[in-house]
Amino acid sequence: MGKVDPSKIVVGSFVTVILLGTFLLTLPYATVDGRGLSWVNALFTATSATCVTGLTVVDTGKAFTLFGQLTILSLIQVGGLGVMTFSTFFLSMVGRRLSIRGRMVVQDALNYYEMESLLELIRYILIFTFLLEMVGALLLAFPFYHRLGGRGLYAAVFHAISAFCNAGFSLFSDSLVSFKGNVLVTGTVMGLIVLGGLGFPVLLDLYKRFIAPEDGRYRLKFQTKLVLLVTVFLILLGAVLFFLFERSNTLSSLPFRTKVLASLFQAVTPRTAGFNTLNTGAFREVTLFFIIFLMFVGASPGGTGGGIKTTTAAIVFFTIRSIIREEREVSIMGRTVPPRVVSKAFAIFFLSGALIFLAILFLLLFEKDMPLIKLAFEVVSAFGTVGLSTGITPTLSPVSKVTLSVVMLAGRVGPLTLVLAMARRETPPEIRYPEAQVMVG
């Protein structure tokens, strides 16, 4: 029996769910017009939902029937938590224990490598998810019911799941623009986005430290501290710069409190969520360019979002700092980062940049009249599984939609995982070659 390749199983599980979702969305009773989506649009939508992106080619609230919307919501939930999470949970429910190889697959899917507490993490993933989604739905139910009546309760559940899974799908044609001044709606959605993007290992660590400590000496792990530091920094930096860039543009006519709230929301949502309370297509180019940076970084490992991840960005930054300072090792907050982790971070950074470059180049070939900044924004939004768009998604050619579908899958499973899944794995020979002197820079 050959060795199990975790990367192939992870990618294969996502592809299987995407293909199933594609089929369901092509059925006549998935859309209001009774014709179903075309195969290209169905593939794009199913990929966007499963990879929790939020890019759409049709209006989710108007084009789909309840069946179609529930199909999308199911894909969001399964894609947000990860197919392997559900599989492992159901196996444990029926009393079947995971083999060592099976655990390797789940570890690779969750970016979590502590074997002894893996099943505990999966149980808490499901508890955290459904509890936080339920609380979010209850908070959203009040303002949504006030505006939509009984339909608002369903909308509250839909948006709570979409927000926690960082999907960005909305039943409203303008996303959350009409709620931009509503503190309860925007605050709840931002909270769900951040919690979903922190990563389940971080949520479990915070739970053990502050809510149910087993002993008073429990300390947060280094991973948790780094994720929290980078997350807070990016949100605050994003809010301040967005306010400065857009204060005389999309923010100009808003009251000061709404300006601050909208700036904070627009700083949170590029962290792979995709909701918007302002018209993204009206942003200045400098704002779009900065949001591209936030989308490229994305969420944190083990969470529901995409991007290169906060920890990867931090390691790349501190490695460059160490090189400039001529330090022998990379250190962050009093801890040394192992060389293999540094190498993996740079591999992810390079592969992500290469994928984005090639995708933009491909779109430029088929969308000749489209501005570069808008195409770049669309590609990075797909890679970061964000879902923000300047409004060009429905107008893209079928080839461009398929290209973005591949980018969304790479962003969700990770470009390195996707490359490893496609590559032919061979055991390298135990040979050490002489060192070569090469000039760089």
The pLDDT value given to residue 99: 54
Q: Which are the contacts of 418, defined by CB distance < 8 A and separation ≥ 6?
A: 7, 11, 409, 410
Write the CA distances from 282 to 2, 286, 375, integer angstroms.
54, 12, 15
Confidence of residue 110 (pLDDT cuts 50, 70, 90): low
Say if residue 327's pLDDT is above 70.
Answer: yes
pLDDT mean across residues, the chain:
87
Q: Tens digits of per-residue pLDDT, 152-211?
A: 999 999 999 999 999 999 999 999 999 999 999 999 999 999 999 898 888 888 988 888
239 is written with which tokens?
């809010």
Written as one string, the DSSP assignment of 287-323 is HHHHHHHHHHH-S-TTSS--SS-HHHHHHHHHHHHHH
- Residue 428 confidence (pLDDT): 59
Contact between 173 and 87 under an 8 Å Cβ cutoff? The reply is: no
pLDDT at residue 1, as a whole number: 40
Sequence ranges of the domains in the chain: 6-421
Comparing C-alpha atoms, which of 311, 317, 337 is closest to residue 229? 311
- Taking residues 51-68, report their average pLDDT: 95
Strands 331-332 and 335-336: antiparallel
Euclidean distance between CA atoms 56 and 403, whole angstroms: 14
Rounded Cα distance between 138 and 215, Å, is 33
Nearest to 387 by CA among 408, 366, 357: 408
pLDDT over threshold 50, residue 95: no
Beta bridge partners of 336: 331
Instruction: Judge whether residue 16 has pLDDT over 50.
Output: yes
Write the CB contacts of 108 (distance below 8 Å, at least 6 apart in sequence).
6, 7, 10, 417
pLDDT in the model for residue 102:
54
Entry pTM: 0.90
Residue 278 has pLDDT above 60, yes or no: yes
Whether 84 contacts 13, CB under 8 Å: yes
Q: What is the structure's pLDDT at 360?
A: 97
Q: CB–CB of 68/31 below 8 Å?
A: yes
The residue length of the chain stands at 441
Question: What does each C-alpha distance from 3 to 7, 101, 105, 425 come to in angstroms?
Answer: 12, 8, 11, 10
Say yes or no to pLDDT of 40 above 60.
yes
Report how far apart the first and last C-alpha atoms of the chain are (Å, whole number).
47
d(CA 150, CA 142): 11
DSSP string spanning 188-208? HHHHHHHHHHH-HHHHHHHII
Q: How far apart are CA 268 and CA 192, in angstroms?
A: 10
Q: What is the pLDDT of residues 405-432, one digit of tens each?
A: 999 999 888 887 777 666 655 555 667 7
pLDDT at position 382 = 96
Q: How far is Cα 338 from Cα 329, in angstroms, rounded to an integer?
A: 8
Nearest to 320 by CA among 98, 406, 312: 312
165, 196 Cβ separation under 8 angstroms = yes
Answer with the residue of higher pLDDT: 264 or 110.
Answer: 264
The whole-number average pLDDT for the span 109-119 is: 56
- Residue 426: the pLDDT is 58
The pLDDT of 286-294, averaged and rounded, is 97
Higher pLDDT, residue 86 or 257: 257
